[in-house]
Amino acid sequence: MSIVKQIQSAVINALSTSYHIPFTEKDFQINQTKPEFEGDYTIVLFSLVKSLKKSPEEIGNELGKTLINNNPQLFTSYNIIKGFLNLVVDDQYWIALLQKNHNDICFGKQAMNGKKVMVEYSSPNTNKPLHLGHLRNNFLGWSVAEILKANGYQVLKSCIVNDRGIHICKSMIAWQLFANGATPESTNQKGDHFVGDYYVRFNDEYKKQIAQLKDGGMKEADAEKNAPIMLQTQQMLQDWEAGKPEVMELWKTMNSWVYDGFDITYNRIGSNFDRTYFESNTYLLGKDIVQEGLDKKVFYKKEDGSVWIDLTADGLDEKLVLRKDGTSVYMTQDIGLAKQKYDEYKIDQSIYVIGDEQNYHMKVLKLIAQKLELPYADDIYHLSYGMVELPTGKMKSREGTVVDADDLVDEMINTARHHTEALGKVKDFTSEELVSLYDVIGLGAMKFYLLRVDPKKKMIFNPEESIDFHGFTGPFIQYTFARIKSILRKEKSVSTGAYSGNLLPLEKQVVFVAEQFPNIITDAAKELNPSVIANYLFLLAKTFNSFYSEHSISNAETSHKKDLRLQIAVMTSNILQSGMKLLGISVPERM
């Protein structure tokens, strides 16, 4: 049980016993004591004034005395500052916690809770490579899945690949017109880059043809509709939907090139999936649900045969769910896929990691599912995240201005090399070790920077800033871990003996922060927010460095004090490694 839970329990017992009134943890607040005051945790007393009909000072004195008398193993003293009861936790509590948990590499993880969750993320299109936005999506989805696992959930990682539609046909038409039979192999390109180039080529040709038609006197709107390359693309989409053999063969071939490229990128960034869905297999789903909705009067049919739902009473608008020609729309497909997920796995929650530009769509999806009384409706959750930009601004894939994920990874690794070489501490590394180290630092810097921001916030990714060894970055935490490992390598063993003395303030502070790790993992899962862990790890690393800069470990005042500090080092390194692993980040033994 965490120290906060123990304090809550002690306070509830003290209040209930002293005043003969039932209390719960909701009746008062516990905070960490501010640095300028003496104490570890603070009870806010103002919420108790009304029910107890006493001043905060009276309540504080009575409660403080009772807590000290009833819990001598937990508290040593208290003080009251303007309605705040500050409690000092006995050093022996922190020492016992350190003794018990310092060598526990699973510290903070919980037992299985019987709940099953699916986390869907990535959602790439097969007409272009993964880009910076996909990186935030992948890192966020993967990390949330791992955090949920650490909290005892059975987690399924899933991906829906958008492998059909007009955008895919644009790349296909451009390849037919301009490739002259070229392939990724013949051009020595990754398959996703190769296909993406033809998506950009389509847009260039499309704009050129529009300009030519406008020069001939056609209005812009008509030129956009009648540009030959667009008409060819629309025909190809119709041929695909009709299953025309030669179109299907080209579609499969070009998609296979893209999938090969995706696999290389996913492996490189450490992203993986337990289940992959393809839109080409799901776009017909949901039609039976539409009929069910018509029968239930949830949907209605217009004179032209199209099917709609009226959500104006819910503050939204009317939404099309089936076209007049009987074909599905994205909403229909998404309802059908949600049902397929539930039928396949009987999941307790379905989490969609999707950018905030789809907030409206996801709100409508859940609302329709609820109105249809589908069994999974209430368990649909949209983990909405803000867009990520570079300092230079927004990106547009059709114009070729997107920051390619592979290029960015290369840049990060190269930047890691420059920074590491500048420090001059890796001269004894082999070339193979250096390649691995730069990869670990570069990827770690990128992941940490993208995950340290609350998902709900938009952010700007600055590659150079992300790799600062002294800032709020992944490399700073990696360096702290490597520093601790260097200390531990110099010691043949770490004693497991108990320490009976008092703790110095900075020794206590490291253990104080370390003790919070299980609660941090729990909070991150509740909020579906990896930045909770990122911020905590930075605090722990910073706290350890402050301690180590003031107090020697190898030359400690006594052998018992040395053992204590080694245990602090071991516990810190274990937590840093475990926490970074939940973010998908490796920590090197040497830097």
DSSP H helices, 190-323, are 191-215, 220-226, 228-241, 245-269, 279-282, 287-295
452 backbone dihedrals φ, ψ, rounded to 5°: -75, -15
In a domain, 247, yes or no: yes
73 backbone dihedrals φ, ψ, rounded to 5°: -80, -10
CA 52 vs CA 12, 48, 407, 418, 419: distances in Å: 14, 6, 64, 64, 60
In a domain, 276, yes or no: no
Bridge pairing between strands 459-460 and 388-389:
parallel
Helix (H) or strand (E) holding 52: helix 49-52
Q: Are residues 304 and 445 in the same domain?
A: no
Location of structure tokens 């529009």: 210
Least confident of 292-296, 423-427, 483-487: 423-427
Q: Are residues 509 and 419 in the same domain?
A: yes
Q: Are residues 317 and 185 in the same domain?
A: no
Give residue 401's pLDDT band: very low, low, confident or very high (50, 70, 90). Answer: low
Q: What is the pLDDT of residues 413-429, one digit of tens each?
A: 999 999 888 888 888 89
At 223 the pLDDT is 96
At 515 the pLDDT is 97
Q: Are residues 480 and 528 in the same domain?
A: yes
In a domain, 149, yes or no: no
Tally of domains within the chain: 4
In a domain, 377, yes or no: no
Helix (H) or strand (E) holding 352: strand 349-355
Q: What is the pLDDT of residues 203-239, one digit of tens each?
A: 999 999 999 999 999 999 999 999 999 999 999 999 9
Give residue 114's pLDDT band: very low, low, confident or very high (50, 70, 90). Answer: very high
Least confident of 50-64, 387-401, 440-454: 387-401
Decide if 132 contacts 462 (C-beta within 8 A). no
**pLDDT beyond 50 at 399:** no
Q: Are residues 414 and 560 in the same domain?
A: yes
Helix (H) or strand (E) holding 120: strand 116-120
Q: Are residues 230 and 322 in the same domain?
A: no
> What token pair was written down for 219?
């209005």
Last residue of a domain, one of 89, 118, 150: 89
What percent helix, strand, coil does the chain show, rounded to 5?
Answer: 55, 10, 30
DSSP 121-153: ----BTTS--BHHHHHHHHHHHHHHHHHHHTT-
DSSP H helices, 391-430, are 405-423
Beta bridge mates, 159:
276
At 398 the pLDDT is 44
In a domain, 183, yes or no: yes
In a domain, 45, yes or no: yes
The Cα–Cα gap between 54 and 57 comes to 8
- Name the residue among 391, 403, 352, 333 with its Cα closest to residue 129: 403
Last residue of a domain, one of 27, 62, 89: 89
Q: Are residues 65 and 171 in the same domain?
A: no
**Type of residue at 448:** F
CATH of the domain at 68: 3.30.1360.70
pTM greater than 0.85: yes
252 backbone dihedrals φ, ψ, rounded to 5°: -65, -40
In a domain, 565, yes or no: yes
Q: Are residues 467 and 548 in the same domain?
A: yes
Q: Are residues 315 and 223 in the same domain?
A: no
Q: Are residues 435 and 555 in the same domain?
A: yes
> What token pair was written down for 586?
């490796």
**How far separated are the first and last CA of the chain, in Å rounded?**
36
At 501 the pLDDT is 85
CATH of the domain at 429: 1.10.730.10
Q: Are residues 233 and 300 in the same domain?
A: no
- Name the residue among 164, 234, 215, 139 with its Cα closest to residue 533: 139
Last residue of a domain, one of 279, 299, 327: 327
**pLDDT beyond 60 at 240:** yes
Half-sphere exposure of 557 (CA within 13 A, CB side): 6
Q: Are residues 485 and 522 in the same domain?
A: yes
Q: What is the pLDDT of residues 164-200, one digit of tens each?
A: 999 999 999 999 999 999 999 999 999 999 999 999 9
Mean pLDDT to the nearest integer, 112-131: 96
Q: What is the pLDDT of residues 363-397, one digit of tens each?
A: 999 999 999 999 999 999 999 999 998 887 554 44
What DSSP state is assigned to residue 320?
A: E
In a domain, 270, yes or no: no
Provide the domain limits for residue 307. 287-327
Q: Which long-range contacts (CB under 8 A, 24 or more apart) does 366-369 make?
A: 367/311, 367/314, 367/316, 368/293, 368/298, 368/309, 368/311, 368/319, 368/321, 368/331, 368/335, 369/335, 369/338
